[in-house]
Amino acid sequence: MPYGTAIGFKKGADEKQVVEKKGVSIMDILNFVIAIVALVMAVMAFQRTGGIKDLRKTTAELLAKMERRMREEEAAKEEKEKTQQ
């Protein structure tokens, strides 16, 4: 059996690989079902770890810390410029 014929490919007259599949195979359906199950499991895991509410809370805390640090650095920079003049 030539390479590729077991997975639905057949060499054409011009030596290019041509797909012979027609319709939907069982493997396509199985892959789709597995993908849907994986998506549902990922959503459930995300909700179990806190979901959107926890994500928003954490993001707000990090932004507040970053803003406070930037304000302190800017104030220190301005104070340094004043003392140099």
- Are 8 and 19 in contact, with CB atoms under 8 Å apart? yes
Residue range 6-29, pLDDT digits in tens: 555 555 555 555 555 567 789 989
pTM of this structure: 0.45
N-terminal to C-terminal alpha carbon distance within the chain: 85
Q: What was the pLDDT predicted at 1?
A: 47
Give the whole-number percent of the chain exceeding pLDDT 70: 74
Could you tell me the pLDDT band of residue 85, with boundaries at 50, 70 and 90?
confident
pLDDT, mean over the chain: 81
Q: Average pLDDT, stretch 26-55?
A: 92
Query: How far, in Å, CA of 6 to CA of 22, rounded?
Result: 15
Q: What was the pLDDT predicted at 23?
A: 72
Instruction: List 19's β-bridge partners, or say none.
Output: 9
Residue-range domain boundaries for the chain? 24-84
How many whole angstroms from its chain centre is CA 42?
12
